[in-house]
Amino acid sequence: MTSPRPDPDSTELDPEEARAEVARLRDELYRHAYLYFVEARPEIGDDVYDRMFRRLQSLEEAFPELVSPESPTHRVGAPPQDKFETVEHVAPMLSLDSSEKGEDVARFDERVRKALGAGVEPVYLLEPKLDGASIELVYVDGVLERAVTRGNGREGERVTENIRTIPTVPLRLRTDVREAPPLLSLRGEVMMYISDFAHFNASLLESGQEPYASPRNSAAGSIRQLDSRVTASRKLEVMVYDVLAAEGVSFATDSEGVAAIRDWGFVVPDPIETAVSVEEIVSYHARFEEHRDDLDYEIDGVVIKLDHLAARRAMGSTAHHPRWAMAFKFPPRQEVTVIEAIAIQVGRTGVLTPVAWLRPVTVGGVTVSRASLHNREELRRKDLREGDTVRIQRAGDVIPQVVEVLEHHDDRAQPFEMPSECPVCGTEVYEEGPRTICPNRFGCAAQLKGRIQHFGSRAALDIEGLGEETATLLVDRGLVRRLADLFDIEPKQLMELEGFGEKSATALVAAIASKRNPDLRRFLTALGIPEVGVTVARSLAESFGDFDAIRRAGREELEAIDGIGPRMSEAITGFFAEERNAAAIDALLAQGVEPKTVERVAADLPDLGTAVFTGTIPVPRVVAETAWRNVGGKTSGSVSKKTEFVVAGENAGSKLEKAERLGVEVLTFDEFLVRLREHGGALEEER
């Protein structure tokens, strides 16, 4: 048997010969990758595949003009990025309404049948609810153009280079069965198989790194690596299940869309079935729940979707979820283990949370070694002590919880007592209801890490690069002991920290410095004042105009603002009166941080009264509230006799009941739009 003839040297080929061979190699590599990763029926061995891959690499190096983003060689990753670009989705990526109860599925079916009308039988598409990280894949003329995380459902982060490294994502759509549309947007889930997750976590522990909590966390963290070569080193999969948009292509049913997804070369969750009754839905759910532990990937329920697409469009969606679909979740997984120790964890807001350190136990493929005990009253109510044998449960991605004590020894440990001082900073704690709180908001290292992260968050000052990992590094290395220290950091100090180079260090320092003159609303949000979220911060800014006036305001002045009552005003005045808080704020101002003043609403605008929004409306609530304020109205979060009208969306609750009881006018969202337009107003997209 003779050895195969070696490939000619790449430099000996002319450009046209190289172009033809590159095209042939890419087609062969696409086909064999599909056979191996999607259909699990390889035709060639790894050595042959690797030889073709290396040949393609050498040709692309010799002929750079032939390099293409769709080339299989892009699977190995690209040079590190500085940050991720925020990109708008082609179509919204909504959440799903969900329940663990069969009766809620029956009610969902009733609503669908009512919407379709008498004599029309609904057909449902059923699929497993994958527990991974959602991703949008956008193809232009059949080639992967971008991949975007779900984000807030309207926009997310472009992580294209990372997604290119995942073998089950076609860089170019298969078109041997079905043509590729000019524009195609698909929704899928990035997964890490449970077996791969176990090996990955073991390798992290061996190298002294912190393991991930679950396969879902691992997948989400892997696709947000700035260095895509790190992503490429991890075993990730993508399953695709939804056509978000397809230009020039129409499907009558979702089932047709799923068939197209398969034809284009993707892995699809299996099995996907149709059903025409609640009984068939419950049976499908029961089968998956029974065999859930046999799967090598995480699911947390099944998804029920109306199959007929025209009927979906007729039913529509709320701002949060489609009316034509729901998730039928599984009950939380439970296991039995022992509480080996009880410790205290201090959060961003200063709340001391008791945490049980458990004898490690596997719950649904994830090793669990700790569980939240919530607060001192919950701890006493369940009478949980060190050494007790307990039942724990893990639902979704939350920290596991202790359900109950199953048994304990006669020589049982003494009841756990909450400390009188913060275990991190030594400050005397105080009790507020069932919670125990450290008041050292800006001086406690545990709180400071969270406060730095919040300070730079999108809702606050929006400082690019100031996330959880960076905040932890800054505090642990002693670079930041109070918020004001952020403005003293120099690039050379950051360059000594893991993960920072000259470019990223300079960028972060510049991003922080650019926030010395922030919007007043954002600055108030960034301070983390109790009871003050984005809406209240905006009301304070618009009512007082400048920070000093807000800081000096008394309770009566605050309560004169719609939506601010006694409890909220007490929290605000108490925050500014506390010596540690005042010192931290003074230090920020001494650094030259000067919040912008806010111009009052023009005096010639009419006073149109206060509107209260309740329930689910078709646009983000902040958009509707801003539109009403722009024409001279006010908004509030609570209903009173001073309320002009209430806009009641779907599932409106106690606010609607109170409005009816007080005789306050109630409008539908469409009626609100009519009134808004009567005063020259209009909705704008949320910025």
Top pLDDT among 366 and 195 is at 195
Mean pLDDT across the stretch 19-28? 82
Instruction: Copy the structure tokens of residue 601.
Output: 């609403």
Fold classification of 333-440 (topology level)? OB fold (Dihydrolipoamide Acetyltransferase, E2P) (2.40.50)
Q: How far apart are CA 211 and CA 509, in angstroms?
A: 30
| % of the chain beyond a pLDDT of 90 | 41
* Torsion angle defined by CA atoms of residues 47, 50, 51 and 54, in that order, rounded to the nearest 10 degrees: -160
State how far the Cα of 161 lies from the Cα of 533, in Å rounded to an integer.
35
Laid out side by side, the sheet with 98-99 consists of 98-99, 325-329, 299-306, 124-130, 273-275
CA 253/CA 125 separation, integer angstroms: 9
Q: What angle do CA 675, 676, 681 make, to 5 degrees?
A: 150
pLDDT band at residue 118 under the 50/70/90 scheme: confident
Distance CA 681, CA 673 (A): 9
Which DSSP helix (H) or strand (E) runs through 24?
helix 15-33
Determine phi and psi for 80, rounding to 5 degrees: -60, 150
Same fold for the pair 445-513 and 520-590: yes
Residue 240: its pLDDT value, please? Answer: 96
Domain range list for the chain:
10-67, 98-329, 333-440, 445-513, 520-590, 610-678
- Reported in sequence order, the residue ranges of 150-298 that DSSP labels E, i.e. its strands, are 155-157, 183-191, 237-246, 273-275
The per-residue pLDDT for 685 is 43
Q: How confident is the model at residue 2 (pLDDT cuts 50, 70, 90)?
A: very low
| C-alpha span between 170 and 185 (Å, rounded) | 13
More confident: 653 or 103: 103
Please give the Cα distance from 254 to 624 (Å, whole number).
33
Q: 595, 517 in Cβ contact below 8 A?
A: yes
What are the percentages of helix, strand and coil residues in the chain, rounded to 5? 40, 20, 40
Is the entire prediction scored with pTM above 0.75?
no
pLDDT for residue 557: 85
User: Residue 592 burial (CB < 10 Å; 0-12/13-18/19+)?
Assistant: exposed
Q: How far is CA 270 from CA 99, 128, 194, 329, 365, in A?
A: 22, 7, 17, 17, 19
The C-alpha atoms of residue 130 and residue 426 are separated, in whole angstroms, by 44
Range 596-614 average pLDDT = 73
Residue of 438 and 21 predicted with greater confidence: 438
- The pLDDT value recorded for residue 605 is 61
585 pLDDT more than 80: yes
How much is the pLDDT for 687? 34
- Residue 120 identity: V
Q: What are φ and ψ of residue 256, in 5° steps?
A: -65, -40
Query: How far is residue 196 CA from its own chain's centroid?
Result: 23
Measuring CA to CA, which residue among 77, 61, 66, 74 is closest to residue 30? 74
Please tell me the predicted confidence (pLDDT) of residue 686.
Answer: 36
Encode 461-472: b = buried (16+ Cβ within 10 Å), e = exposed.
Answer: bbbbbbeeebbe
State the pLDDT at residue 189: 95
Known catalytic membership, residue 114: no
Q: What is the pLDDT of residue 81?
A: 65
Residue 46 contacts by C-beta under 8 Å, 6 or more apart in sequence? none
SS3 label, residue 241? strand
The candidate with the shortest Cα–Cα distance to 367, out of 203, 193, 208, 213, is: 213
CATH superfamily assigned to domain 98-329: DNA ligase/mRNA capping enzyme (3.30.470.30)
Better-scored residue on pLDDT, 653 or 338:
338
Q: pLDDT at residue 620 above 60? A: yes
At 27, the amino acid letter reads D
Span 90-114, average pLDDT: 90
**What per-residue confidence (pLDDT) applies to 209?**
67
pLDDT over 70 at 601, yes or no: no
CATH superfamily of domain region 445-513:
5' to 3' exonuclease, C-terminal subdomain (1.10.150.20)
Q: What percent of the chain has pLDDT over 70?
A: 91
What values do phi and psi take at 79, rounded to 5?
Answer: -60, 155
Of 76-85, 144-153, 169-178, 239-248, minimum mean pLDDT range: 76-85
Report which of 31, 69, 74, 71 is spatially closest to residue 49, judged by C-alpha positions: 31
Listed in sequence order, the residues at least 6 apart from 66 whose beta carbon sits closer than 8 Å to its beta carbon are 18, 19, 22, 59, 60
The DSSP element (H or E) to which 162 belongs, if any, is: helix 160-164
Say which amino acid occupies 451.
R
Nearest to 134 by CA among 12, 224, 1: 224
**Residue 583: pLDDT over 50:** yes
Across the range 572-595, mean pLDDT stands at: 93
Residue 640 tokens, joined: 């009173």
- Structure confidence at residue 233 as a pLDDT band (50, 70, 90): confident
For 659-673, what is the mean pLDDT? 91
Does residue 219 have a pLDDT over 80?
yes
Distance between the two ends of the chain, CA-based, in angstroms? 69
Candidates 226, 687, 146, 210; CA nearest to 464 is 226
- Under CATH, domain 10-67 is a member of which superfamily? Helix hairpin bin (1.10.287.610)
Cα–Cα separations (whole angstroms), residue 83 to 228, 382, 595, 638? 12, 46, 27, 40
CB-based contact 474:489 (threshold 8 Å):
yes
CATH 3.40.50.10950 fits 520-590, yes or no: no
Average pLDDT, the chain: 86
Q: Which amino acid is at 628?
A: W
Taking the C-alpha atoms of residue 322 and residue 637, their distance in angstroms, rounded to an integer, is: 25
- The HSE-up count of residue 327 (CA atoms within 13 Å, CB side) is 17
Residues 31-86 pLDDT 10s: 777 666 555 567 777 677 777 777 887 887 788 887 777 777 766 655 666 678 88
Strand partners, 346: 352
Compute CA 275 distance to the chain's CA centroid, rounded to the nearest angstrom: 31
* pLDDT higher than 60, residue 11: no
Which residue among 114, 129, 515, 596 is the active-site one? 129
Question: Higher confidence at residue 359 or residue 209?
Answer: 359
CATH of span 610-678: 3.40.50.10190
Q: How far apart are CA 640 and CA 635, in angstroms?
A: 12
pLDDT digits (tens, 9 = 90+) for 486-533: 999 999 999 998 888 899 899 999 999 999 999 999 999 999 998 888
- Quick one: how far is CA 669 from the chain centroid? 28
Q: Cis link prior to 271 (omega < 30° from 0)? A: yes
Helix (H, G, I), strand (E, B) or coil at 138: strand
Read off the pLDDT of residues 431-460 as tens digits, 9 standing for 90 and up: 988 889 998 888 899 999 989 999 998 878
Q: Give the pLDDT of residue 334.
A: 84
